[in-house]
């Protein structure tokens, strides 16, 4: 009988231990928070303010002293990843013909302030030191005839064709150095296609992965919801552009120079903790 009682006590202790373990796992699942990411578009040290179409008011100058204004600035952000010494988070990507099921893709538009703020939910509790994201839409989002929502060309998504894919970065405006004034820099392309006949290559992969260090150790928890403030410098994307030579960019091949400038055009300005 004594042995039987000891056996019962042992079983009870094991059950209590398992229950405690299950409780810990449940607590770990609940230990999540939210992170906001704000994109702020600048031209050097000046805030981007869009001009009306046809405006001859030129607020900015290029590195070559060519006056210009901006009438449209927009770009795609996707594949957001947060990393820290002991934790990581990867935003879920999903492409669907149903707009409500498209996740992980964000169309930042200067003309719509609401699009410049991204909210990430279910971020594991912990300390994060880096953020990584994709500028443009890579092969995971280029599905012929399948994309809905902000990826749907029928809804205004900037899409060239199957080989060229989406326009990842759009910069449009006017400049006094052109007779017709208007310029358009469209940077896109999701794959390299080398012609078998030896002719000039037209299609390039201009999608860029950008990793930025946070200016502080960002703490995420159920009660801490930090905001990462990222500045996008249009001046750095334009680089040493000469609008009299390159007033229009509408292909992956011509946009390669601007694509190379993308990785240095984004910086974490600060984190609101």
Question: Are β-strands 126-135 and 167-175 bridged in parallel, bridged antiparallel, or unpaired?
Answer: unpaired
- Number of C-beta neighbours around residue 169 at 10 A: 29
Distances (CA, A) of 273 to 128, 129, 231, 245: 12, 13, 17, 45
Cβ count within 10 A of residue 209: 14
Distance of CA 135 to the CA centre of its chain: 5
| Stated pTM of the model | 0.87
Decide if 106 contacts 77 (C-beta within 8 A).
yes
Q: Is residue 174 scored above 70 in pLDDT?
A: yes
102-104-110-111 Cα dihedral, nearest 10 degrees:
20
Q: Is the pLDDT of residue 2 over 50?
A: no
pLDDT score of 239: 97
- pLDDT surpasses 90 at 36: yes
User: Is-contact 165 190, C-beta < 8 A?
Assistant: yes
Pairing mode of beta strands 88-90, 117-124? unpaired
pLDDT at 16 over 60: no
Task: Write the DSSP symbol of residue 200.
Answer: P
For residue 10, is pLDDT > 90?
A: no
Q: What average pLDDT score do residues 162-176 get?
A: 95
Smallest CA-to-CA distance from 132 within 227, 211, 35 is with: 211
DSSP conformation letters of 2-68:
HHHHHHHHHHHHHHHHHHHHHHHHHHHHH-EEEEEEEEEEEETTEEP-PPPTT-----EE-TT--EE
Q: What are phi and psi of 14, to 5 degrees?
A: -65, -40
Confidence band for 26, pLDDT divided at 50, 70 and 90: very low
| Beta partners for residue 130, in sequence order | 83, 213
Mean pLDDT over residues 109-120, rounded? 97
139 Cβ contact list (under 8 Å, min separation 6): 190, 191
At 130-159, the pLDDT tens digits run 999 999 999 989 877 678 999 999 989 999
Extract the tokens encoding 159.
């899409």
The residue extents of the domains of the chain are 1-30, 33-272
Query: Stretch 252-257: mean pLDDT, rounded?
Result: 96
pLDDT at 8 over 80: no
The CA distance from 210 to 141, in Å, is 17
Give me the pLDDT at residue 143, please.
77
267: three-class secondary structure by DSSP = strand
pLDDT tens digits along 208-226: 999 999 999 999 999 999 9
> Coil, strand or helix: which one is 157?
coil
Per-residue pLDDT at 80: 98
């Amino acid at each position: 009988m004594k042995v039987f009682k000891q056996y019962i006590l042992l079983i009870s202790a094991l059950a209590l231990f398992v229950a405690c373990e299950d409780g810990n796992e449940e607590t770990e699942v609940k230990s999540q928070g939210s992170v906001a990411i704000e994109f702020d578009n600048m031209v050097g040290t000046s805030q981007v303010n869009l001009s009306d179409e046809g405006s001859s008011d030129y607020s900015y100058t290029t590195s070559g002293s060519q006056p210009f204004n901006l009438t449209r600035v927009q770009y795609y952000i996707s594949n957001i990843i947060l990393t820290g010494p002991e934790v990581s988070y990867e935003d879920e990507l999903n492409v669907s013909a149903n707009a409500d099921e498209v996740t992980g893709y964000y169309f930042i538009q200067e003309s719509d302030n609401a699009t410049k703020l991204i909210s990430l939910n279910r971020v594991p509790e912990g300390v994060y030191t880096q953020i990584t994201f994709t500028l443009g839409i890579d092969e995971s989002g280029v599905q012929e005839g399948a994309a809905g929502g902000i990826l749907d060309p029928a809804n205004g998504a900037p899409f060239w064709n199957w080989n060229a894919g989406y326009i990842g970065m759009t910069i449009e405006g006017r400049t006094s150095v052109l007779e017709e004034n208007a310029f358009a820099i469209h940077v896109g392309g999701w794959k390299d296609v080398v012609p078998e006949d030896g002719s000039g290559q037209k299609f390039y992969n201009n999608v860029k992965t950008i990793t930025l260090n946070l200016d502080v150790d960002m703490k995420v928890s159920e009660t801490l919801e930090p905001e990462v403030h990222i500045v996008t410098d249009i001046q750095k994307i334009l680089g040493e552009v000469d609008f009299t030579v390159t007033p229009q960019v509408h292909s992956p091949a011509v946009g390669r120079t601007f694509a190379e400038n993308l990785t240095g055009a984004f910086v974490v300005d600060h984190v609101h903790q």
